[in-house]
Amino acid sequence: MIVALGVTGCIAAYKAVEVLRGLQKRGAEVRVVMTRHATEFVTLLTFQSISGFPVITDMFAPTDDPEIKHIQLAQSVDLLLVAPATANTLAKFANGIADDFLSTLYISSTCPVMVAPAMNVEMWAHAATCDNVRRLRERGVQFIDPEEGYLACKTVGAGRLAQPDEIVRRAFEVVDSSENDHQGEEVKRSLRGERLLITAGPTQEAIDPVRFLTNRSSGKMGYAVAEAALARGASVTLITGPVSITPPEGARTICVRSAAEMYKAVADNLSDATMVVMAAAVSDYRPIANHQQKIKKNGSALSLELEQTEDILASVTRQAGSRVVIGFAAETENVIEGAKKKLAEKGADLIVANDVSATDAGFDVDTNRIALVSSEGVIEFPLLSKLEAASRIIDAAVKIKGSRALSAT
């Protein structure tokens, strides 16, 4: 995903640095465009150093590139995001004034546009600004409205730039929605009639009534797979360990805690599934003894004897039949080799491998860097949002299903 980040001249321009970093952390490549007045608040070098790309400020800057820069950029980005957007910028956009690079980029763009206004409360409430905002909304420009609070002009009211993390979240929502809108009907219906059984999150293996063994899985990857499957017309049963996120609307959700409970829930729902995606990070071991009372500290070392938990993926592949079965391999070293070994041992159709020791991928973050390992080889992807990664996994599942149908004819 490539984002053009427009930064305009107001005191909130410094927060655009946080927006830039937030976009990068979720896997976006960001090209920064600054107005002349924006450079009065934050230096060009700041954005250039963080983005890793030259910052565009001048419509007519000398260059060796023969391409028309604003057209080239307009055709290459997935989103034009302006944060902060001043009243002056909104007025230019609404009235088709193209007198600098940013306003010319806007009028050249066919990608989604989102603006995050920031200004004095009276400027935001002025009839001219309200009229410009209305006209832009009617044209499809997405707004993330300013918040109320104490403003730089020492007044209180609406006008403060929205929180950077909220701007980033909304930016990805806008792009995902746009991509879904532009998907062909064949892609949108690629899972119509399919019934997906998806596992997600960690398991918790009790030591005593207050302690347990678990892992760092947040459930975000499995929930993203469920969301992507629902968007393509599948019915979804989501079996989830303890997480703090909300299941996708439309999924039939079954909450479990331990590996044994997840094993039983999968077994009870397997017969109805046509595809199985085992994204849960199931504990490999549990304490043999589950103490009924809290273990007291007595000044000496404590030893726990562990036993292996149920191998849920192996049990599913033994009963796979015509089902497509996808497993996950969370590794900290030799990622591809570990996934290939798991593919051979478990008998799955596909293993999704990722390095969970990375800071920007794996557990408890919004991005992932996956590799799809199958009998046909290995396909590695760059850093993606987890929803984008989920879409690639669904694409692979559809391809496997199609290949089977073709070989059966």
pLDDT, tens digit, 9 for 90 and up, residues 65-121: 545 466 778 778 889 999 999 999 999 999 999 999 999 999 988 889 999 999 988
Contact 373, 350 (CB under 8 A): yes
- Domains of the chain listed by start with CATH number: 2-180 (3.40.50.1950), 184-289+303-408 (3.40.50.10300)
What is the pLDDT at residue 357? Answer: 87
pLDDT, tens digit, 9 for 90 and up, residues 290-343: 899 999 988 889 899 999 999 999 999 999 999 999 999 999 899 999 999 999
Least confident range from 55-64, 168-177, 188-197: namely 55-64
What is the rounded distance in angstroms from the CA atom of residue 15 to the CA atom of residue 161? 8
Q: What is the mean pLDDT of residues 333-360?
A: 93
What is the pLDDT at residue 224? Answer: 94
What is the pLDDT at residue 203? Answer: 97
- Residue whose tokens read 């790309």: 53
pLDDT, tens digit, 9 for 90 and up, residues 231-272: 899 999 999 999 999 999 999 999 999 999 999 999 999 999
What is the pLDDT at residue 192? Answer: 87
- Across the chain, mean pLDDT equals 89
How are beta strands 306-308 and 285-287 bridged, if at all? antiparallel
Cis peptide before 84 (omega within 30 of 0): yes
Of the chain, the percentage scoring pLDDT greater than 90 comes to 64
Q: Environment class of residue 2 by beta-carbon count within 10 Å: exposed (0-12), middle (13-18) or buried (19+)?
A: middle
What is the pLDDT at residue 55? Answer: 92
What is the pLDDT at residue 181? Answer: 57
Say which of 10, 130, 153, 255 is annotated catalytic: 153
What is the pLDDT at residue 97? Answer: 93
Count of residues in the chain: 409
Contact 198, 277 (CB under 8 A): yes
The span from the first CA to the last CA of the chain, in angstroms, equals 39
| Beta-bridge mates of residue 6 | 33, 82
What is the rounded distance in angstroms from the CA atom of residue 270 to the CA atom of residue 72? 50
Confidence of residue 150 (pLDDT cuts 50, 70, 90): low
- pLDDT higher than threshold 90 for residue 160: no
Contact 301, 265 (CB under 8 A): no
What is the pLDDT at residue 151? Answer: 62
Q: Environment class of residue 104 by beta-carbon count within 10 Å: exposed (0-12), middle (13-18) or buried (19+)?
A: buried
What is the pLDDT at residue 72? Answer: 74
pLDDT, tens digit, 9 for 90 and up, residues 45-80: 999 999 989 999 887 665 545 454 667 787 788 899
What is the rounded distance in angstroms from the CA atom of residue 364 to the CA atom of residue 281? 12
What is the pLDDT at residue 66? Answer: 44
Q: What 3-state class would DSSP assign to 378?
A: strand
130 is catalytic: no
Q: Which of 325, 348, 347, 330 is nearest to 397 (CA)?
A: 325
- pLDDT higher than threshold 60 for residue 14: yes
What is the pLDDT at residue 169? Answer: 87
What is the pLDDT at residue 409? Answer: 60
